[in-house]
């Protein structure tokens, strides 16, 4: 799509004119990656020091209220240009990238990070930015601005879940509701619900059903804890929903040898775990990854139960 090309062009231009973008996209070429093989799928670990800004972000109400919001237009760096989307959102280049092409897409108003009522916009973004995977981090699941509604987008071909969905080794079709097919991932460490279909209204309805079931599990949260990925491919949407039980794993709060600074969000759920400290990148093991997913995600058995109740 035309809009996708424009967004990629914006990234190229901003790298050429904005020092922070130039520096951080430049250093992305030197990030280290290691891969853990789990049989039918793998997980990548990325050592990315610039991401300490996000991984160690203080997202408690007090800290959030004390800082100027970096997604509001009045506080954004003067070099950061934008593209307007549907007159409700602006597409910006993320100056602290994980993906070789990485966008942040805030709403034009300073309004709380919530998916309900905004999932349709996420679908529209996925359809218009079809070179990208669109992602949503809940206010307690990795959003570093929980007070300002936003999505992000990363270039396709980076997250292993994209291939894992297409090769069909890890997920299986378990239900159909209307025109939407629902998939479950029984042995994928993180409980995942995937929706596939070409009808936007049906997808929103199906998502809302999932949302309401999750709400029952976490009645005290402002929204059920979750991460979402949205992909548009050959005229159809593929949505991956990752219900969460915890923001950060116990290892995050440890000290010394036992500590691992890892704050899982959508990208980690998609199969790329970000470690901003080199020591963590070196010492993290296959078993640590399993342990972390087990702590922060709903288990696959709980997810299939939920799907069956939709």
Name the residues that contact Zn ion, by CB under 5 A: 69, 71-72, 110, 148
Determine the Cα–Cα distance for residues 264 and 273; give it in Å rounded to an integer.
7
Q: Where are the alpha helices (DSSP H) in 218-285?
A: 250-253, 266-269, 278-283
Residue 177: Cβ within 10 Å count: 15
Residue 92 or 241 having the CB closest to Zn ion: 92
Nearest distance, CB of residue 299 and Zn ion, angstroms: 35
Nearest distance, CB of residue 72 and Zn ion, angstroms: 3
Nearest distance, CB of residue 71 and Zn ion, angstroms: 5
Helix (H, G, I), strand (E, B) or coil at 151: strand
Determine the Cα–Cα distance for residues 136 and 227; give it in Å rounded to an integer.
6
Nearest distance, CB of residue 143 and Zn ion, angstroms: 12
Residue 71 or 289 having the CB closest to Zn ion: 71
Distance of CA 132 to the CA centre of its chain: 12
Residue 81 or 110 having the CB closest to Zn ion: 110
Nearest distance, CB of residue 269 and Zn ion, angstroms: 25
Residue 67 or 212 having the CB closest to Zn ion: 67
Nearest distance, CB of residue 303 and Zn ion, angstroms: 33
Strand 272-275 and strand 42-47: the pairing is parallel
* Nearest position to Zn ion, beta carbon: 69
Nearest distance, CB of residue 154 and Zn ion, angstroms: 22
- Let me know if 78 is exposed, middle or buried by CB neighbors in 10 A (0-12, 13-18, 19+): exposed
**The two three-digit tokens of residue 163, written as one number:** 């291939």
Q: Where are the alpha helices (DSSP H) in the chain?
A: 2-17, 19-27, 52-55, 61-66, 119-128, 160-167, 200-217, 250-253, 266-269, 278-283, 286-296, 300-308
> Is residue 75 within 8 Å of residue 68, measured between CB atoms?
yes
Residue 76 or 283 having the CB closest to Zn ion: 76
Residue 22 or 108 having the CB closest to Zn ion: 108
Residue 84 or 167 having the CB closest to Zn ion: 84
Name the β-bridge partners of 127.
Answer: none
Strand 42-47 and strand 102-106: the pairing is unpaired
């Amino acid at each position: 799509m035309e809009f996708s090309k424009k967004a990629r062009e914006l990234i190229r231009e901003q790298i050429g004119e904005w020092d922070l973008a130039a520096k951080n996209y430049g250093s992305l070429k030197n990030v280290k990656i290691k891969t853990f093989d789990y049989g039918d799928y793998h997980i990548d670990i990325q050592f990315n020091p610039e991401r300490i800004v996000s991984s160690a972000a203080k997202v408690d109400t007090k800290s959030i209220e004390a800082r100027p919001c970096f997604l509001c237009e009045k506080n954004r760096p003067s070099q950061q240009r934008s593209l307007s989307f549907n007159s409700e959102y602006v597409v910006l280049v993320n100056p602290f990238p994980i993906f070789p092409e990485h966008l942040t897409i805030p709403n034009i108003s300073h309004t709380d990070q919530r998916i309900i009522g905004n999932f349709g916009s996420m679908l529209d973004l996925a359809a218009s930015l079809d070179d990208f995977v669109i992602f949503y981090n809940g206010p307690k699941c990795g959003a570093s601005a929980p007070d300002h509604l936003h999505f992000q987008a990363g270039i396709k071909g980076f997250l292993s879940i994209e291939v894992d969905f297409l090769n069909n080794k890890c997920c299986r079709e378990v239900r159909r509701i209307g025109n939407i097919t629902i998939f479950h991932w029984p042995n994928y460490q993180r409980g995942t619900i995937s929706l596939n279909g070409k009808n936007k209204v049906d997808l929103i309805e199906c998502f809302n059903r999932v949302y309401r079931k999750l709400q029952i599990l976490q009645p005290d949260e402002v929204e059920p804890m979750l991460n979402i990925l949205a992909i548009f491919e050959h005229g159809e949407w593929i949505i991956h929903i990752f219900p969460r039980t915890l923001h950060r794993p116990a290892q995050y709060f440890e000290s010394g040898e036992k500590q691992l600074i890892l704050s899982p969000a959508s990208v980690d759920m998609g199969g790329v775990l970000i470690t901003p400290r080199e020591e963590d990148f070196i010492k993290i093991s296959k078993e640590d990854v399993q342990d972390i997913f087990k702590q922060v995600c709903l288990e696959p058995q709980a997810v299939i139960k939920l799907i069956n109740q939709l």
